[in-house]
Amino acid sequence: MTGDSVARRVTNLLAPQVLVIVMPPVVGLVAQGWSGAAWGLVASALCGGVPAAVIAAGVRSGRLDSHHIVDRARRAGPLTAAVLAVLAALLLLVLLGAPTLLVATVTAMLVALAVTVPVTLRWKISFHAAVSAGTVVVLAHVLPAVPTLAAGAAVVAVVCWARVRLAHHTRPQVIAGAIAGTLTTWATLAAFGL
């Protein structure tokens, strides 16, 4: 297996939409059992499923180059859909009394989007790096923190390597994404007292 094929597999396996769909039910399950997982599925469907469907439709129609949206100029529409979907999820979770950790997690997604979307309209920040780093921070709140952060840092480094290896981003773009994802998620969870 070549370096490029490994990078493509990492990029696909740890794509933002994959992590945003998988992470909330896992966090909910670990934090609060099956009821938490059910709340997580609601968050997954809206925060991950809706944007993934919008992107898939864009790829099928030829408006988008791939589900990774390599062409920065084409990101505005799918990112607007993502912001609206995350807002809808957050409102629904708050109105229905979802667990605080999941409300905080979805809020962190919204805060990360509030930081990264304006940046990507001018400069191609890495959403892969931002989402993977944010996911690690959330997981460190429900799993043993030190091993989760250590393993997570290695995973984020591999994601960053893959994006640079495929020439989809530069090193500064993946570093900026990882920092943005880490700081926005950490600050949001801290604001919730978690």
pLDDT of residue 162: 96
pLDDT of residue 32: 86
Q: Say whether pTM exceeds 0.85.
A: yes
Which pair of structure tokens corresponds to residue 109? 């997604």
Mean pLDDT of all residues in the chain? 91
Domains identified in the chain, total number? 1
- The arithmetic mean of pLDDT across residues 24-50, rounded, is 91
Report how far residue 13's alpha carbon sits from residue 156's, in angstroms, rounded to the nearest whole number. Answer: 12
Long-range CB contacts (< 8 A, 24+ apart) of 91-100?
92/42, 92/46, 93/39, 93/42, 93/43, 98/39, 98/42, 98/43, 99/28, 99/31, 99/32, 99/36, 99/39, 100/192, 100/194
Percent of the chain with pLDDT over 90: 68
pLDDT of residue 77: 83
Q: CB count, 10 Å around CB of 148?
A: 17
Distances (CA, A) of 59 to 53, 67, 70, 163: 10, 7, 12, 20
Range of the domain at 148: 3-191
